[in-house]
Structure 1
Amino acid sequence: MTSAVDASLSTQITRKLYDGELTDGEIWWRDHQVWLQERGYMLRARYRPDWVPSWHKDGGTDYDEHEDGQNIVRSEVLDATRIADDTVVTLKRIKSSRHPYEVDICRFFSSEPRASDPANRCVPVYEVLDVPDEPDCKLIVMPLLRKFFDPRFLTVGEAVEFFRQTFEGLRFMHAHHVAHRDCGRMNIMMDPRPLFPQLYHFVSTWAKRDMSGTAKSYTRTRHPVRYYFIDFGLSRRYDPAKGPPRSWPIWGADRTVPEFHKSLEPCDPFPTDVYYLGNVIKTVFLDVYTGLDFMKPIVDDMVQDEPASRPNMDQVVARFDLLLGSLSTWKLRARLPQRNEFWLVRLFRVIGHTFRTIFHILSLRPALPRP
């Protein structure tokens, strides 16, 4: 009997995940589609109450080849189109009882004068919606964002600009007494619109929005981008008048924080942020690409085991500014090779880089692509 029940449950799960129908997490969005449309946001056809799967119309089963067959993995986040101006935005569902500070921190950084500060790299929030039938639930409306490392970085200058923006952004947060507490690689994203002028599908990010082909993209040097810190669910704002900040350790996505392995006592969360960002640069850049050795002394200090030995973000930015002044234009334009590149791949990439660099020089595009 147990075996039969397990098999039935497995079949239900498989159907939900793999036959293209709405998953349990997606049903929530379908049930709120009409309300969202009334508030000015249109969801994709998949989430409308009258949706009929397109692959059913021709008797097919290849749902993954159809635009409306693309299901979301994280049910808390979905794309939508703002009806007033056809802008694609992102909606994030937040349970206030689980993350009581997230909305307030988002509003804090999206309010003036902080919103206009060029050092602010916190994702802007356009609007906060109260879900009518769920008092504990709010939706925040944000820009459409993309993983910061996709597509890959092509030049030293492109990587250095990422370092510059994230260093200044984290310093900005800390200057306002906010610790992110989970600023790992998945919580730093970029505004993709300069790279993808026609955008891409929210789920299958390699494809056009209608899944008719591959989405065209440009380089960061040709069209510079802005990077943003997202997801303030674990973040806290501290009152300096109450003394040194202390918080109980809480695990984010990065499970390598040295101080959390040593003690569960309350600690200063700001050096932990420094570790998180340093470890992003170490694992995403220094361990993957060559040509960035000049960043190693700063990063090594940021990821030291002892939190008290790490520099604060004021010190990191000051050291980085000195370092940036020592990098020549040719160094910044240099190709960023991946470690252990296959020789044939390397050959094609060198040829492509040479032609792109000539184009960028002739079109007067700077080696450090600031947006």
Structure 2
Amino acid sequence: MSRTVDVNAEVSQRMFAMWGKTDRTPPEELDSREVWWRDRYKELCSHGYLLRPRYSPQWVPSWKTSKKDWKDSEDGKRITFGPIIDATRTSDGKVVTLKRIKREDHPYEADIALYFSSQTLASQPANHCVPVYDVFVLDGEDDTMIMVMPLLRSYSDPSFDTVGEAVECFRQLFEGLQFMHQHRITHRDCMNENIMLDPTLLYPASFHPIATNLTVDCTGDAKHFTRTQRPPKYYFIDFGLSRRYDHSDANPKEIPIWGGDKEVPEFQNSNEPRDPFATDVFYIGNAIRKDFILEKRGLEFMKPLIASMIQADPDQRPKMDEVVARFDEIRSGLNQRKLRSRVVDIHEDLFERVVRTTSHWKRRIGFVARGIPAIPNPPS
């Protein structure tokens, strides 16, 4: 086995040990992941970012002085992934996401993220890389950077209502990956957990950043619109494995490094350098296969394209330019009836299907009457 692969494994193990482990501490105590942020509470405030009360050095659990159970209390919600935490930007009250990056492990992440957030690229509609608002280094921690980004939400939550909504999602994802590739950057981990959406329009009253099904104060369910009513923009996040290539390097190759999707055919039992652009095509195709083709009904028209994207031989996969062109043909062939039809979850029971179909038809009639497009028009 090559030394490069050994180093990749060492980095993954070190990250898990530092950031992925849960201490199983009681709710009134911070676990080891949370302590890191608590210890930097005041310094983050000096940079203009206020953590939730749970992470204040003066925090006293609210349920200790009330009749609420800790599970129902806002400050009972702990972060789920050590390097990422929510905060309020004190300059305008906007809730943002803070991510800490160790440059030793991911030396290119901040540079690539900032490149796509540059003035030249940030305003381009085809750019679906998460915006970066700010980057700074903490005192005495030169190897650790804090990157500030918007509060996003999983791209598949809330559920898709119509085929047209799913079609618009696919369009944006293909467009976004094509945009990265046109700028000679590969994501190398664009699996489903690294695809998010901007929830600003969908959730006008927002939601709790950890218990995302609840309101900000955790007193009830977070209300939201459908994607047809309030079309979101989709984003790729996490450029920790991403790489940038010179335009003169027509066929770059990379030693395999595992991202979140462990099904990449060319990585199975091989350390041979591979085309990272072709691997990206597999990643995004497999994400759609797992989250839509295998889990939903009504999207069978995507099967041939997705099958070509996840072929075992990376040399046989289409480039993203071809993926976009083929998808445009597929989309143009879908009629209004199909686009407005409901996306059905294969796990629905009969009662759920009846309830959801009834509410779907009520919305559908209203949308048609008001001339709302079957394929949502996202914000630019």
Kept in 2, the 8 Å contact 1:125–1:141? The answer is yes
1:350 aligns with 2:364: no
* Matching of residues 37-48 of structure 1 within 5 Å: 37-48=45-56
* Matching of residues 214-229 of structure 1 within 5 Å: 214-229=221-236
1:370 Cα deviation from its structure 2 partner: 2.0
Aligned position for 2:313: 306
Equivalent residue letter for 1:36 = L
Aligned position for 1:153: 160
Counterpart among 31, 43, 50 of residue 35 in structure 1: 43
Q: Distance in 2 between matches of 1:139 and 1:132?
A: 11
Number of equivalences: 358
Aligned position for 1:318: 325
Counterpart among 62, 65, 72 of residue 57 in structure 1: 65
Could you list the structure 1 runs, at least 4 aligned residues long, displaced by more than 4 angstroms after superposition.
13-16
The DSSP-based 3-state class of the residue aligned with 1:138 is strand
Aligned position for 2:286: 279
* Matching of residues 285-300 of structure 1 within 5 Å: 285-300=292-307
Q: Deviations over 1:118-144 (max 9, x none)?
A: 100000001101111211000110000
Tell me the percent identity: 50
1:367 aligns with 2:366: no
Counterpart among 88, 91, 94 of residue 95 in structure 2: 88
Aligned position for 1:10: none
1:169 aligns with 2:176: yes
> Could you tell which deviates more after superposition, 193-202 or 306-315?
193-202
Equivalent residue letter for 2:258 = W
Kept in 2, the 8 Å contact 1:123–1:228? The answer is yes
Kept in 2, the 8 Å contact 1:16–1:22? The answer is no
1:23 aligns with 2:31: yes
Aligned position for 1:332: 339
Kept in 2, the 8 Å contact 1:157–1:369? The answer is yes
1:362 Cα deviation from its structure 2 partner: 2.4
1:268 aligns with 2:246: no
1:203 Cα deviation from its structure 2 partner: 1.1
Equivalent residue letter for 2:155 = F
Aligned position for 1:119: 126
Q: Distance in 2 between matches of 1:270 and 1:365?
A: 37
Kept in 2, the 8 Å contact 1:20–1:70? The answer is no
Q: Distance in 1 between matches of 2:199 and 2:280?
A: 25
Q: Deviations over 1:66-94 (max 9, x none)?
A: 11111111011011111111111100000
Kept in 2, the 8 Å contact 1:20–1:64? The answer is no
Q: Distance in 1 between matches of 2:226 and 2:38?
A: 36
1:253 Cα deviation from its structure 2 partner: 0.7
The DSSP-based 3-state class of the residue aligned with 2:297 is coil
Aligned position for 1:76: 83
Kept in 1, the 8 Å contact 2:184–2:245? The answer is yes
Aligned-CA RMSD value: 1.5
Q: Distance in 1 between matches of 2:196 and 2:69?
A: 31
Aligned position for 2:5: none
Q: Distance in 2 between matches of 1:284 and 1:15?
A: 31
| Closer, same or farther: CA 347–61 of 1 in aligned 2, 3 Å | closer
The runs of 5 or more residues in structure 2 that have no matched partner are 1-20
TM-score by length of 1: 0.94
TM-score by length of 2: 0.91
Counterpart among 194, 200, 203 of residue 201 in structure 2: 194
Q: Distance in 2 between matches of 1:124 and 1:292?
A: 30
Aligned position for 1:206: 213
> Could you tell which deviates more after superposition, 205-214 or 309-318?
205-214
The runs of 5 or more residues in structure 1 that have no matched partner are 1-12
Kept in 1, the 8 Å contact 2:85–2:98? The answer is yes
1:43 Cα deviation from its structure 2 partner: 1.0
1:221 Cα deviation from its structure 2 partner: 0.5
